Amino acid sequence: MANPDRERLVALDKERVWHPYTEMSRYRETVDPLVVVRAEGSRLYDADGSVYLDANASWWTSVLGHNHPRLVEALRRQAGELCHTALAGITHPAAAELAERLCAVTPAGLEHVFYSDNGSTSVEVAMKLCLQYWSQNGRPERRGFVSLEEAFHGETLGVTALGGVEVFRRPFARSLLECIHVPAPTRPDSMERALDALAKAVLGNRDTLAGVVLEPVVQGAAGMQIYDPAFLVAARELCDEADVFLVLDEVFSGYGRTGPMWAGGHASVVPDLMCTAKGFSGGMFPMAATLATERIFEGFLGDPERAFYYGHTFCGNPLGAAVALEVLRVFDEEKVLEAAAPKSRRIAAAFDGLASLPGVTCVRSIGMIGALDLEGDSGYLAGAGWRVYEEARARGAYLRPLGNVVYVTPSLNIPDPDLDRLLEIVQESVTAVAG
Ligand SMILES: *Cc1c(COP(=O)(O)O)cnc(C)c1O
């Protein structure tokens, strides 16, 4: 039955809202968007009464499920006290307590927290810290970066230089900072070639490199491509040898997405700079942080002009900080990582079982990530993934693909019945399209 309010909202949306990653004429003519009016746990509620399992935890953010009562309460409590204040010459309880707690759960050696408001800026901050550090500590010629082919580190112009996903990079390719892209060790038998290329890039450019930036263990936007943590160990050794900074972008991989709290933990690698966002605020608030070692922090001390002249209006925003602090408490008190371990085994078993379906060329999983490749054109704009999306939607799941890669990244505490139903929907939808 038509819902007049829903129709009106969709009409307003199509008239005015410019959607991300979306060709708008096709969207206007052919897409019937979900109109989500409420969410709870792993479910999204549409204005038309439909309910959808949120297979990607709303762009990989909602690690504790939607509207976790403790996070909602933390937000409500903070909103009653202080919604925003500048972080210059001022601090506030949430920012201070959160920084202390964050340093306690990140690898030893990361001692200082710089706040910003999204994943892209957390990496942008790391890049600027590298550049300014070398510029004022005797190595101004160090301005280049190394990243992986198919990397994704966000959308600001600075971090677009690091990115290797072709559609996101192409329009801006002529306006970017220097970056050497080396092959990722994500394909079968690619490790040796990747290590070799990384060694050449780092050691061969040691005089001009500012940093190496990696998504540890999983390249999300590349299509949930997973690699052996041994690569991180080698990257750490090469960065040490060349005295270049290692930046780990844990924006997607952090907060237990791959099993341990941080994906760098698979290899016990301590970066010089670490970026966190997405799960950092439980998907409730735009909020991010970049953590730095003592050495980097000290490189900005002394004369006033040595300060890091960088900040965002909403740096350390009290609402975001209060939620992020509560997220860490919930992880601890509800033993979220331990409770997710058996769920991740369910995901692995289900995806292993999908490997034999017609039309599926490859499956992989790690932690709370399961992914499969569909036969056919690959690349971000490929079509088969969208047909699976439609089938899944008809069955009650929001299963946005990455090109021909169909994947799930549910909240870490998704109830077992919801997880099992979601995995069934993946199976049924892939079978309907490819079978
Ligand atoms: C999502 C993502 C970003 C960008 O975060 P935004 O909050 O969208 O700016 C950066 N790095 C990685 C690894 C990501 O997955």
- The reported pLDDT for the residue numbered 378 is 67
Ligand 1 atom with the smallest distance to the CA of 249 is 13
pLDDT tens digit at each of 435 positions of the chain: 567 799 999 999 999 999 999 999 999 999 999 999 999 999 999 999 999 999 999 999 999 999 999 999 999 999 999 999 999 999 999 999 999 999 999 999 999 999 999 999 999 999 999 999 999 999 999 999 999 999 999 999 999 999 998 888 999 999 999 999 999 999 989 999 999 999 999 999 999 999 999 999 999 999 999 999 999 999 999 999 999 999 999 999 999 999 999 999 999 999 999 999 999 999 999 999 999 999 999 999 999 999 999 999 999 999 999 999 999 999 999 999 999 999 999 999 999 999 999 999 999 999 999 999 999 876 666 689 999 999 999 999 999 999 999 999 999 999 999 999 999 999 999 999 986
Are 77 and 218 members of one domain? yes
The pair of three-digit structure tokens given for residue 4, joined into one six-digit string: 């007049």
Enter the DSSP assignment of 66. B
Q: What angle do CA 231, 201, 272 make, to 5 degrees?
A: 60
At residue 21, what is the residue type? Y
**DSSP class per residue in 395-409:** TTEE---BTTEEEE-
223 and 81 inside one domain: yes
Name beta bridge partners: 372: 363, 406
As a whole number of angstroms, the distance between CA 371 and CA 373 comes to 7
Instruction: Report how far residue 265's alpha carbon sits from residue 254's, in angstroms, rounded to the nearest whole number.
Output: 10
Distance (angstroms) between ligand 1 centre and the Cα of 272 equals 19
> How far apart are alpha carbons 42 and 56 in whole angstroms?
9
Q: Which domain holds residue 78?
A: 71-333
60 vs 283: CA distance, rounded Å:
8
The verdict on 136 and 259 lying in the same domain is yes
The minimum-distance atom of ligand 1 relative to the CA of 155 is 9
Ligand 1 is surrounded, with C-beta below 6 A, by 118-120, 123, 152-155, 215, 220-221, 249, 251-252, 277-278
Mutate to test the pocket of ligand 1, among 121, 148, 278 (most ligand atoms within 8 A of CB): 278
User: Is position 156 within any domain?
Assistant: yes
In ligand 1, which atom is closest to the CA atom of 154? Answer: 4
Residue 1 lies in a domain: no
Residues 398 and 409 sit within 8 Å (Cβ to Cβ): no
On whether the CB atoms of residues 65 and 42 are closer than 8 A, the answer is yes
274 burial via Cβ count (<10 Å: 0-12, 13-18, 19+): buried
Coil, helix or strand at residue 128:
helix
Residue 317 and residue 237 in one domain? yes
**Whether residues 299 and 194 fall in one domain:** yes
* Cα–Cα dist 280/274, whole Å: 12
User: What residue's CA is closest to ligand 1, atom 6?
Assistant: 119
pLDDT given at position 166:
85
Angle between helices 69-81 and 318-333 (to 10 degrees): 150
Q: Which residues of 113-134 are buried (b: 16+ CB within 10 A; e: fewer)?
A: bbbbbbbbbbbbbbbbbbbbbb
| Measured distance CA(307)–CA(293) in Å, rounded | 16
Residues 142 and 98 in one domain: yes
Q: How far apart are CA 263 and CA 238, in angstroms?
A: 19
Which residues lie closer than 8 Å to 296 by C-beta, 6 or more apart?
Answer: 112, 129, 133, 245, 272, 273
Residues 310 and 329 reside in one and the same domain: yes
Flag whether 22 is in a domain. Answer: no
| CATH number for the domain that contains residue 345 | 3.90.1150.10
Assigned domain for 25 exists: no
> Do the domain assignments include residue 4?
no
Q: 3-state DSSP helix/strand/coil percent for the chain, to nearest 5?
A: 45, 15, 40
Q: How many domains does the chain have?
A: 2
> Which of 314, 333, 352 is the C-terminal boundary of a domain?
333
Q: Please work out, in degrees rounded to the nearest 5, the angle formed at the alpha carbon of residue 18 by the alpha carbons of 159 and 218.
A: 35
Q: What is the CATH number of the domain that holds 139?
A: 3.40.640.10
Do residues 281 and 358 share a domain? no
Q: Do 173 and 46 fall within a single domain? A: no
> Which amino acid is present at 192?
E
Q: What spacing in Å lies between the alpha carbon of 246 and ligand 1's midpoint?
A: 18
Is the separation of the CB atoms in 412 and 340 below 8 Å? Answer: yes
What tokens does 362 get? 């490859």
Give the residue from 296, 318, 333 where a domain finishes: 333
Distance CA 266, CA 263 (A): 6
Q: How many CB atoms lie within 10 A of CB 166?
A: 13
* Whole-number pLDDT of residue 434: 81
Rounded CA-CA distance 329/291 in Å is 19
252 Cα–ligand 1 center, Å: 7
50 alpha carbon to ligand 1 midpoint, in Å? 29
Please state the atom number of ligand 1 nearest to the C-alpha of residue 215.
13
Q: How far apart are CA 222 and CA 164, in angstroms?
A: 8
Kindly give the pairing relationship between strand 209-214 and strand 245-249: parallel
Let me know: does 271 contact 247? Beta carbons within 8 Å.
yes
Instruction: Assess contact for 274 and 248: CB atoms under 8 A.
Output: yes
Position 17 in a domain: no
- Nearby residues of 379 by Cβ (< 8 Å), 6 or more positions away: 166, 167, 403, 404
Residue at 428 is within a domain: yes
For every residue of 374-389, DSSP letters joined together read: ESS--STT-SHHHHHH
Q: Sign of torsion, CA 365 59 127 111?
A: negative
